[in-house]
Amino acid sequence: MKKIILISIVCVFGFMGIQAEEAAPRQFTPSQGDFAIGFDVTPIFSFIGNMFNGTENNTFSPLAGRPLLSTPGSTTFPTATIMGRYMWRDNVALIANIGLGGSSVRNRAYVQDDHAFMFDPLSQDRLIDVMRVRNSAFSLMLGAERRVGENRIQGIFGGGLLFASARSHTAFEWSNLQNLRAFH
């Protein structure tokens, strides 16, 4: 009895699905007025991937967005992108993309303490010099695309204008210089 009830329920829902398909044809392509928003999750994947393997240099090439520079290893490459698309006509879309990127690196190095060495040439005293490098980048892309074809597979071509800006700042903390100022 359970098998008969189960088969009848499957048949009823199956026929309902077929009737719904006949009533409204499925549309696979976007139409006028549709919009889409997306973002690139490469920084999240890189962080999670490096969390479990003990390294810091495993990276993905960008999955989406418009690159600021053509070198993926560059520090001015946008690490986070937000994309948008608005279908102006059934076959014409307006697209926008904002890319943001940044990094901050601190390098430390042991150096000889010049003040202690001046009074004792055999001194093994050490100080720490620090170098900080901060990079930031921004990109904005506006463009349009045209779609050719009416089926699931379409040809897409287009173009856009890209504005990009990058900034790098390097600062040094010389411990021997600070030690010299404290001495005077």
Q: Residue 150 corresponds to which tokens in the numbers above? A: 């009416």
- Tell me the pLDDT tens digit for each residue of 47-67: 777 777 766 666 655 544 444
- Tell me the pLDDT tens digit for each residue of 123-167: 888 888 899 998 888 888 899 999 988 777 888 899 999 888 888
Phi-psi region of 160 (alpha: psi -120 to 50; beta: other; left: phi over 0): beta
Cα–Cα distance, 135 to 137 (Å, whole number): 7
Beta bridge partners of 59: none
pLDDT of residue 65: 47
Cα–Cα distance, 141 to 68 (Å, whole number): 10
Full DSSP string of 90-106:
SSEEEEEEEEEEEEEEE
Q: Where are the domains of the chain?
A: 31-183
Q: Determine contact, residues 99/66, Cβ cutoff 8 Å.
A: yes
As a whole number, mean pLDDT of residues 25-51 equals 77
Cα–Cα distance, 43 to 25 (Å, whole number): 39
Q: Residue 48 corresponds to which tokens in the numbers above? A: 């999670």
> What is the CA 72 to chain-centroid distance, rounded?
11
Lowest mean pLDDT among 63-67, 79-83, 107-111: 63-67
Return the higher-pLDDT residue of 122 and 79: 122
Helix or strand or coil: residue 164?
strand
State pTM to two decimals: 0.59
